[in-house]
Amino acid sequence: MNLYEQAFLCLMHRDTSEKQSMVAQLREAWEKGELDRKDSALIEIPVPGRPDRPDLLNPGLLKQRKLGSELGRATLVHAILHIEFNAINLALDAVYRFRDMPEAYYSDWLKVAAEEAYHFSLLEKRLADLGYAYGDFPAHNGLWEMVLKTDHDVLIRMALVPRVLEARGLDVTPGMIERLLKAGDNETVDILRIILNDEIGHVAIGSRWFKYCCANKELNPEETFRNLLIEYMGKGLSGPFHEEARLQAGFSQEEIDDLVKMV
């Protein structure tokens, strides 16, 4: 079997339960050496495999609800669940799209896909406990939109998806945990702590391969990252930043200082 063809099948599968199983099988087959890397047709993917729901709206149209109510907590869990589903597809696309990376790169991103699928399963069960299912609330498509903007260059992808979009989770999750503790939702807190720990590793994988790509092109990582932020984001990122988590995830102190200055 071919790694890229199998990753594409998994990426385009729409059923969430079957996609989780396919991710596990794909990773296992890769680790057992059952997949080759012979090049195959590279297909553009404007829309990855996803269920018919949730409805995708402009982020500005999504309602923010207080976590003091069960509905508010369910809305939050659903939002994170949607992010984790997208993160499965993001990791699979990183495997499928970029063909000239070392084997360790594919091992890393298949590991990420498997862990994102695990996170999805935890949150899906939690949402069911709250009386809802994936698709019951609207969501947005911002993560995949960035995938499309970065599908031409693995360096840019590693800079802007794991190190910008996914790294944002490192910044905001501690605050969510604090608010949920005040609301007495220890079950969701336990899941978010698992996710936060794993996401540090995922962003670290993005940092590792971003720096690898910079080294290959003899580029300064800090300067390159700063320039890409300006080019693609138009401005700095919103703070505050979880500096300890970002340092663990492969950010340099110089990069963090730059982020703070650009707010």
pLDDT value of residue 210: 98
Assess if residue 89 is contained within a domain.
yes
Confidence grade of residue 239 (pLDDT, cut at 50, 70, 90): confident
Assess if residue 186 is contained within a domain.
yes
- 233 or 159: which carries more pLDDT confidence? 159
Assess if residue 246 is contained within a domain.
yes
What angle (nearest 5°) sits at the alpha carbon of residue 235, between those of residues 230 and 195?
95
Give 158-195 pLDDT, tens digit per residue.
Answer: 999 999 999 999 999 999 999 999 999 999 999 999 99
pLDDT value of residue 108: 98
Assess if residue 48 is contained within a domain.
no
For residue 144, which of 184, 97, 178 has the smallest C-alpha distance?
Answer: 97
How many angstroms separate the CA atoms of 234 and 227, rounded? Answer: 10
Confidence grade of residue 66 (pLDDT, cut at 50, 70, 90): confident
Where do the H-state alpha helices sit in 32-166? 70-97, 103-129, 142-149, 154-160
On the question of pLDDT at 64 being above 80, the answer is no
Structural domain tally of the chain?
1
Assess if residue 42 is contained within a domain.
no
What CATH number corresponds to the domain at position 214?
Answer: 1.20.1260
Burial class (CB in 10 A: 0-12, 13-18, 19+), 121: middle
As a whole number, mean pLDDT of residues 62-76 equals 87
Assess if residue 242 is contained within a domain.
yes
Q: Are 3 and 30 in contact (CB under 8 A)?
A: yes
Of the candidate ranges 4-18, 56-70, 152-166, the one whose mean pLDDT is the lowest: 56-70
3 state DSSP class of 2? strand
Assess if residue 253 is contained within a domain.
yes
pLDDT value of residue 238: 85
Assess if residue 162 is contained within a domain.
yes
> What is the pLDDT of the chain when averaged over all its residues?
95
As a whole number, mean pLDDT of residues 10-27 equals 98
When computed from its CA atoms, the radius of gyration of the chain, rounded to whole angstroms, is 18
On the question of pLDDT at 103 being above 90, the answer is yes
pLDDT value of residue 263: 75
Q: Are 147 and 153 in contact (CB under 8 A)?
A: no
Range of the domain at 112: 3-37+58-262
